[in-house]
């Protein structure tokens, strides 16, 4: 957590210093040929916070569970690389492979026992978005944009291959997941590089839940996974990109 606070303070300090310098020298256009390059590289660092969207099966079948599964997320950290291809003066294709960490606790509030009612969902993800960026025309040293596309996530901490399930205290999720990602940001052209803060929303497409063994048997049920119809990530990423 201390590392995240330091990162955030340094990023805000860099942004405020850059904006102050631009205000004093707003007649100077930095990196005037930067956007004419066909291929550009960079990196990003940032923070994330995500939980799960949960939908349930028919209320009459599992009345005890409806709206009684809650998630307590923590702030996570993400870092990665940027590959940017210019398709048009206002359109770019981007790939942003990176790593993201995020820890959550899931509370099944219809259990009385703490052993049964709390599960940890720790995650380290390989996050690979393929995105299209639509940028406005540049105004002096700033350029706003919107961005969106699809993302592949590999969950290294999914517990997918673990033979134990919730009956043994292990919450399991899918390894391979797909999401769509949308966001907005601003490019700031500085003396030596381009700084681009952005905020992104991510939303799972597939169901990320791996069902308990009892849930896969038509003659049996799992109190943890059988009432759940859909279980998928939704979250916010705050990114600071440097190119």
- pLDDT score, position 185: 96
- pLDDT score, position 74: 87
Give residue for tokens 């990176």. 98
Q: What are the strands, taking DSSP E only, across the chain?
A: 39-56, 69-73, 76-88, 91-95, 98-108, 118-135, 142-155, 176-189, 194-204, 228-242
How big is the chain by its Cα radius of gyration, in Å?
A: 22
Neighbours of 115 (CB within 10 A): 7
- pLDDT score, position 123: 81
**What is the distance between the alpha carbons of residues 151 and 178, in angstroms, rounded to a whole number?**
6
**What is the distance between the alpha carbons of residues 124 and 130, in angstroms, rounded to a whole number?**
19
**What is the distance between the alpha carbons of residues 26 and 30, in angstroms, rounded to a whole number?**
10
- pLDDT score, position 229: 94
**Token reading at 104:** 């959550």
- pLDDT score, position 217: 85
Answer whether 150's CB lies under 8 Å from 98's CB: no
Distance from chain centroid for Cα 183: 11
Instruction: With CA atoms as reference, report the closest residue to 100 among 41, 157, 148, 170.
Output: 157
Question: What is the full per-residue pLDDT of the chain (243 aa) written as tens digits?
Answer: 454 444 455 555 555 555 555 555 556 889 888 888 999 999 999 999 999 999 999 887 888 888 899 998 889 999 999 999 999 999 999 999 999 998 899 999 988 888 889 998 888 899 999 999 999 999 999 999 999 999 999 999 899 999 999 988 899 999 999 999 999 999 999 999 999 999 999 999 999 999 999 888 888 889 999 999 999 999 999 999 999
**Token reading at 167:** 């009956």
Q: Sketch out the chain's domains with CATH numbers.
A: 37-242 (2.40.160.20)
**What is the distance between the alpha carbons of residues 56 and 62, in angstroms, rounded to a whole number?**
8
**What is the distance between the alpha carbons of residues 81 and 189, in angstroms, rounded to a whole number?**
19
pTM (whole model) above 0.75: yes
Pairing outcome for strands 91-95 and 39-56? unpaired
**What is the distance between the alpha carbons of residues 51 and 71, in angstroms, rounded to a whole number?**
6
**What is the distance between the alpha carbons of residues 82 and 92, in angstroms, rounded to a whole number?**
12
- pLDDT score, position 66: 86
Burial of 155 (0-12, 13-18, 19+ CB in 10 A): buried
- pLDDT score, position 3: 47
**What is the distance between the alpha carbons of residues 83 and 243, in angstroms, rounded to a whole number?**
10
Instruction: With CA atoms as reference, report the closest residue to 7 among 81, 74, 76.
Output: 76
**What is the distance between the alpha carbons of residues 157 and 121, in angstroms, rounded to a whole number?**
8
């Amino acid at each position: 957590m201390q590392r995240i606070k330091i990162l955030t303070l340094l990023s805000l300090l860099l942004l405020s210093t850059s904006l102050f310098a631009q205000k004093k020298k707003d007649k100077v256009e930095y990196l005037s040929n930067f956007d004419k390059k066909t291929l550009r590289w960079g990196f990003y660092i940032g923070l994330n916070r995500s939980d799960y969207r949960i939908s349930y099966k028919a209320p009459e079948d599992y009345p005890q569970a409806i709206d009684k599964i809650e998630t307590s997320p923590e702030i996570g950290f993400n870092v990665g690389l940027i590959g940017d291809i210019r398709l048009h003066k206002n359109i770019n294709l981007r790939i942003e492979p990176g790593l993201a960490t995020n820890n959550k606790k899931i509370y099944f509030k219809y259990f009385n026992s703490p052993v049964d009612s709390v599960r940890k969902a720790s995650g380290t993800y390989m996050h690979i978005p393929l995105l299209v960026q639509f940028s406005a025309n540049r105004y002096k040293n700033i350029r706003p944009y919107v961005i969106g596309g699809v993302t592949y996530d590999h969950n290294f901490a999914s517990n997918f291959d673990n033979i134990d399930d919730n009956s043994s205290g292990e919450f399991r999720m899918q390894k391979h997941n797909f999401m769509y990602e949308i966001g907005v940001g601003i490019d700031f052209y500085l003396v030596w590089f381009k700084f681009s803060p952005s905020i992104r929303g991510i939303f799972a497409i597939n169901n990320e839940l791996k069902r308990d063994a009892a849930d896969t048997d038509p003659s049996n049920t799992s109190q943890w996974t059988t009432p759940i119809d859909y279980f998928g990530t939704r979250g916010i990423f705050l990114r600071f990109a440097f190119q």
